[in-house]
Chains A and B, each alone.
Chain A
Amino acid sequence: MSIGVNVPRKDGQSKVNGQAAYVDDLSFDGMLYGVTLRSQIPHGKIRAIQFDPKFDWSSVVVVDHSDIPGQNIVTLIQRDQPFLAAQLIRHVNEPILLIAATSRKKAMEARTRIEIIVDELPSVTNLEKAATGVRLYGEDNLFKEIHIEKGDLPRGFAEADYIVERTYKTGLQEQMYIEPQGVIAVPGKDRISIYGSLQCPHYVVKALLPLLSFSHPDQVQVIQMVTGGGFGGKEEYPNLLAGHAALLAMKSECPVKMVYDRAEDILATTKRHPSIIRHKTGLKSDGTLTALAIEIDFDGGAYATLSEVVLSRGCIHAAGPYRCENIDIVGRAWATNNPPNGAFRGFGAPQTCFALERQIDLVAKTLGIDPLEVRRRNAMEPGDSTATGQVLTESVATHKCLEQAVKASDYIRKRSEYSKLLPKARIRRGIGLSLFFHGSGFTGDGENRIRGRAGLQVTPDGFIEILTSSTDIGQGTETIFAQMVAEELGIPVDLCRNAGVDTNRVPDSGPTVASRTCMIVGDLVRSAAAQLREDLIKWLAELENCNAEQITLVGGCFLLSGQRVASFQDLAKRACSEGGPASASKTYVQPEGLEWDEKTYQGQAYPVFSWGCDVAEVEIDLDTYEISVTRFTAAQDVGKAIHPVMVMGQIEGGSLQAIGYATMEEVLQKNGWIENHRMTNCLIPTALDAPAFETHIIEEPFSGGPFGAKGVGELPTDGGAPAVAAAIDHATGQRFDEIPVTPEKIELALNP
């Protein structure tokens, strides 16, 4: 048994003993260090670039847009972002020039000797003015507009006894992975190798081919180094950084390392989209939701990056896990002159989930009933349909999660007990909850467009190597894949290992995003293992001159009519050396009946959803306005926990990110500048800010997932913020519709 067991992490030992090699641990002979010269204005034209004549420019390599052999476009969804600004600057800290030298110090010194002369243009750095300000993108500054309609909205409002309206706001959030972005580019003849800290190696391949004017994917080799966290921040940004290092490497004909320091990483890389979300809800006096009208605005920043898909996921999750027949969701991602925003764990859903859950609390308040009651009455069940008209058929755990979290946290008793404390105590307690869901895998037919592949290879020493491009960025991919293969073959986990991620060697199993790795790629890995078992049994049957049905693989041994004939490892070795079945591979096949209309946003948005309920407890000091999240109970359904400890780690870590989002994480932006670009002022929670976690894993299996598993990666970042905000409301008697809720905001609310 390898599934549901807390086997040692594959990456654990090397990370603890310091042997794990991150990109900055790697160096090559003759390697240069690259730095980036960036813009200092939010919008403008480059008039001239002046190089100090007193500096010895022959001692460094400088690259500008004219050195680009191919296209100056970062290939992603739209074709709007250049690798290096040529004439137009569209945000502060946009890359303009690249410099490489034999030391970082030298490269930085050269950078101070270059002056960019600019003509500033009017800029828009405020989401609320994105529509009315300067024209930045297309006709209307919209990267994307999405409309989801269900039922008949006017009828829904006509049927309502009450209509409640409110606007909600969320701010920027920085991923703050522990290891900043970094790559090394090693040039070869008509090829380049990239070693990097990244999530999506094949994205980098696709981005570099047109940049370098290469035609064959093998010309770009991308190798993932041990990666110190990503949280989405290393989904698309490494395309740009790898491109930069590659340009310097091609021009200098030397390996080039580019590793950001923390300040540059915070200033230049993508963050979670700030949002303004307006809700108008119709409800009956018994709490039934009759109409949900939701309007969502995201600040995409200066380039489209992934904004449209972030918006898409945000919109699809905007009406939440609630039954409602009349829904209208309008989402817009706007172009501004802020640095581009992009992927961050949750991918649009934490924003829309925050707004919706706060709105549901408002519904409860309007009716004078407990927020729990509203959720109990409206939570989806099998047979209900989502905003996109997707009818839920299996693996629906709303009520299970809700009741488990409520019971485990003693919500009902505490809710009334803390309310009674209200008038006198100076330190007040509050408790609040949230109910949420998160779709596993790519949206709609996205998986079918990717057609991920995974493979297994038997090694000469009889081990199984797992070949995928799914990166382990700390979340445990390597370990769970090994567990799945071990389970399917009935062999010890120790016999299974990962091949490492090298695009020249492993198949493209798609990017490591979208809560898809365990469920989608995991199932490819599992079915490849099933294939290999079958092939080995057939081969053994031939060798033994018997019927394949007579052979079983149990406990690491092949049995012929119950008698041991070979150990798995021995037969695997033989297969490898004697031309037997020594490999297997699988390609994603879309399940029958999946229907999705990208234009109308109707149909099956995700193969399945994971569900969760969070209950947060806080203490607020009414004299010092300090906020402390004291306890956090999460009940989250992941289908099947392949490795329960790591699932709990995902839930607790994601929850803590959500708690930070709700209470302290604030990226301050003014005129397109990020003002707090250091870890001393761009805060994330410390261990001492983590509440006591009580985590309950709910397992409502999904028939389409390996061993019943669904995704858990993003789900935990969705529900924490609204639960904490609800608890703060409960403690203070004030409503907070904007996060982060800081002591300053509480002070202001309590002393109007």
Chain B
Amino acid sequence: MMRLPKFRYLGAKSLKEALQALGSVGPEGRAVAGGTDLLPNMKRRQQQPKLLVGLRQVPELQSLSGESGGSLGLGACLTLSEIAGNAALQDDYAALSLAARAVATPALRNMGTLGGNLCLDTRCNYYCQDQEWREALGYCMKKDGSICWVAPSSPRCWAVSSCDTAPAAIALGARVRLASASGRREIDLSDLYLDDGIRYLSLEPGELVEGILLPPAQGWVSTYRKIRRRGSIDFPILSVAAALKLDGGVVEKARIVFGAVGSRPKQAKEAAAFLGGERLTAESIEEAARLAAKAARPLDNTDGGLSWRKRIAQATVVRALEEILRG
């Protein structure tokens, strides 16, 4: 029976209160939103914060609002159900809407938040195990150990970024707003992610995701495809977010992003560059997908046989682009 370790809890009532608490407690503290990732991890002793700062009652993190120049701001504590159910998002930012809807199960989407999803811990077959299992193996470098069981000679951790919304939001060109006790900053969402299974976020200590900002949707068409074993519950085995700015059948600008193939969402930049200026046809789709698949080099450390996972990347990009072509 897995039980939570002891911790203190502070239900923050304002962003300021949350930031101050996290700023003063240091590495022992951690934000909790829906808790659907963090609490199971704590039960497995993958994370053992002494103070949890609850964000669900922070009004600043709940907003969903149009901003200057046609951008859309989404607060970090919007639930995935709220995002999936939002009609405007379904129309204008289909990739994000589909990605949110593809997370876990209805109950988990009612609890799980956008911010929590973006900050989802990385996953690996050697890490996502209960404590006894990891102890029997001698732990791994991500937690309590020193070796990477996926690549034993590797100096780094290869745990995989498996969140659904990040690839979608990156494909849509999202920026992310970060806040800490000492101030605010805004960066490209893609820069929130680092290619390291342990330090997978570029957040500074005490820093929170306040929300994301989606650029104007005019002219953009997007979609999200997720491969998983079952119709529900499961994390992606591979996912593809694609967003194209189209002008009469010609691609003006493209972004293609893979999820679940590495420690961070992987942008297929070569493919995106190729598509720029191309007419979207069966042939250009095929070529773009071929180029894109080069960016997807999964390791054998999550669910799904490696050969299968490798082989489906290209086809999944084709499917995504075809979907956009069909409109």
Contacts and interface: CB of A to CB of B under 8 A. Distances in A.
Interface residues of B, number: 25
B1 A751 contact: no
Which residue, B136, B305, B308, has most C-beta atoms of chain A within 10 A? B308
Interface string A285-313: 00000000000000000000000000000
B305 to A, nearest CB: 4
Given A108-B1, A681-B303, A688 B230 contact: yes
B319 A624 contact: yes
14 contacts: A104-B1, A261-B1, A263-B130, A623-B318, A664-B229, A686-B233, A687-B231, A689-B231, A689-B232, A743-B305, A744-B304, A744-B305, A747-B307, A747-B308
Contacts of B319: 623-624
Nearest to A105: B3
Q: Which 9 A-B pairs have the closest CB atoms?
A: A688-B231, A623-B315, A744-B305, A686-B232, A747-B308, A688-B232, A261-B1, A744-B308, A624-B312
Contacts of A625: 308, 311-312
B2 interface: yes
B230 A685 contact: yes
Given A104-B1, A261-B2, A625-B312, A744 B230 contact: no
Contact of A623 (B230, B234, B304, B312): B312
A146 interface: no
A625 B228 CA distance: 11
A742 B304 CA distance: 10
Interface string B296-319: 000000011101100110011011
Contacts of A686: 105, 230-233
B227 interface: yes
A747 B311 CA distance: 8
Given A261-B1, A687-B231, 18 more contacts: A40-B136, A104-B1, A263-B130, A624-B227, A624-B312, A664-B229, A664-B230, A678-B130, A680-B233, A685-B230, A686-B233, A688-B230, A689-B232, A742-B305, A743-B229, A743-B308, A744-B305, A747-B308
A626 interface: yes
Interface of A: 40, 104-105, 108, 261, 263, 623-626, 664, 678, 680-681, 683, 685-689, 742-744, 747-748, 751
B64 to A, nearest CB: 27
B206 to A, nearest CB: 32
Contact of A747 (B130, B136, B230, B305): B305
A546 to B, nearest CB: 64
B204 to A, nearest CB: 32
B307 A626 contact: no
A683 B229 contact: yes
Nearest to A664: B229
A664 B230 CA distance: 9
A626 B316 CA distance: 11
Interface string B224-253: 000101111110000000000000000000
Contacts of A664: 229-230
A42 B88 CA distance: 58
A603 B67 CA distance: 82
A724 to B, nearest CB: 15
Contact of A624 (B2, B130, B307, B315): B315
Contact of B230 (A108, A689, A748): A689
Given A104-B1, A623-B319, A624-B319, A687 B308 contact: no
A687 B227 CA distance: 17
A686 B136 CA distance: 31
Interface string B124-155: 00001010000010000000000000000000
B238 to A, nearest CB: 9
Nearest to B129: A678
A624 to B, nearest CB: 5
Contacts of A678: 130
A105 to B, nearest CB: 7
A687 B319 CA distance: 25
Contacts of A108: 1
A628 to B, nearest CB: 8
Contacts of A681: 303
Given A624-B312, A624-B316, A748 B307 contact: yes
B255 to A, nearest CB: 21
A263 B136 CA distance: 15
Nearest to A624: B312
Contacts of B233: 680, 686
Contacts of B308: 625, 743-744, 747
Nearest to B238: A624
B311 A751 contact: yes
A251 B228 CA distance: 49
A689 B228 CA distance: 12
Interface string B1-25: 1110000000000000000000000
A558 to B, nearest CB: 53
Interface in B50-108: 105
A664 B304 CA distance: 11
A104 B230 CA distance: 34
Contacts of B229: 664, 683, 743
